């Protein structure tokens, strides 16, 4: 069975897992290897293709590659981790200490949360369907128009309104676990295997 697991956001894909239970009983290990690889490739391609919507010039996400997606094979199952090799963002600040909106939030956050779900005003205006269900909050401060931030190069006066999320995991799951990219990938590989079997006859 393929298990897609995102570091810190693994509950997002429960609907995908439900569909996998039906698929995995009829597939073989080589097919499962292909499915895991295609899912990994799909996530990386989505993050890279939409890099312009989540990267901010001189912002913390600018140095993130979008390709930290790793497959771990574990006794017949597959874990696809997202962002496990990327340094978490330190979220503790003076603002978070005095603002009650930050209460209960983690002090470190996997940067791929920001890529997957989006953030700030822009992210909040373009929310990824599953984000609020799994504790992701937008524009926490809250900002009305945007904010200035100190850039990675130390420069002041950089302006942000946040960024849109890619929603690759949500696209994999689809609506109610049906008609998502995961299902398309599985069906594509099954069709390929059937064609290959016929050609070998």
Other Cβ atoms less than 10 A from the Cβ of 101: the count is 13
Please state which of the ranges 3-7, 10-14, 31-35 shows the lowest mean pLDDT. 10-14
pTM: 0.80
Q: Are 91 and 140 in contact (CB under 8 A)?
A: no
- The residue segments making up the domain with residue 59 are 2-199
Q: How many domains, the chain?
A: 1
Q: Are 120 and 143 in contact (CB under 8 A)?
A: yes
Binning pLDDT at 50, 70 and 90, where does residue 3 land? low
> What stretches of 63-110 show up as alpha helix (H) in DSSP?
94-98
In degrees, rounded to 5, the angle at the alpha carbon of residue 62 between the alpha carbons of residues 162 and 131 is 45
pLDDT digits (tens, 9 = 90+) for 17-27: 554 555 544 44
- Whether residue 11 has pLDDT greater than 50: no
Q: Are 20 and 8 in contact (CB under 8 A)?
A: no
DSSP-assigned beta bridge partners for residue 109: 89
Task: Note if the bond before 142 is cis, omega within 30 degrees.
Answer: yes
Residue 49 exposure: Cα atoms within 13 Å on the Cβ side: 9
Please state which of the ranges 91-105, 126-140, 166-180 shows the lowest mean pLDDT. 91-105
DSSP-assigned beta bridge partners for residue 2: 78
pLDDT digits (tens, 9 = 90+) for 140-186: 889 999 999 999 999 988 999 999 999 999 898 876 556 789 888 98
- Whether residue 12 has pLDDT greater than 50: no
Binning pLDDT at 50, 70 and 90, where does residue 94 land? low
3-state secondary structure of 163: strand
Give Cα 4 distance to the centre of its chain: 11
Other Cβ atoms less than 10 A from the Cβ of 122: the count is 19
């Amino acid at each position: 069975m393929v298990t897609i697991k995102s570091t810190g956001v693994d509950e997002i894909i429960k609907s995908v897992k439900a569909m996998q239970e039906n698929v995995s009983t009829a597939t073989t290990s080589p097919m499962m290897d292909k499915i895991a690889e295609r899912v990994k490739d799909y996530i990386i391609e989505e993050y890279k293709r939409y890099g312009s919507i989540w990267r901010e010039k001189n912002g913390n996400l600018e140095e993130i590659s979008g390709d930290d997606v790793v497959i771990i094979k574990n006794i017949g199952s597959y874990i696809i981790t997202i962002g496990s090799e990327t340094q978490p963002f330190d979220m503790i600040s003076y603002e978070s200490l005095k603002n009650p909106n930050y209460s209960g939030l983690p002090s470190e956050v996997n940067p791929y949360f920001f890529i997957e779900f989006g953030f700030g005003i822009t992210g909040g205006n373009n929310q990824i369907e599953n984000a609020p269900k799994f504790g992701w909050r937008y524009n926490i401060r809250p900002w009305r128009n945007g904010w200035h931030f100190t850039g990675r190069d130390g420069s002041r006066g950089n302006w942000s309104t946040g960024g849109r999320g890619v929603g690759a995991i949500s696209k994999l799951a689809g609506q109610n676990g049906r008609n998502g990219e995961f299902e398309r990938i599985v069906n594509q590989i099954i069709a390929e295997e059937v064609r290959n079997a016929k050609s070998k006859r």
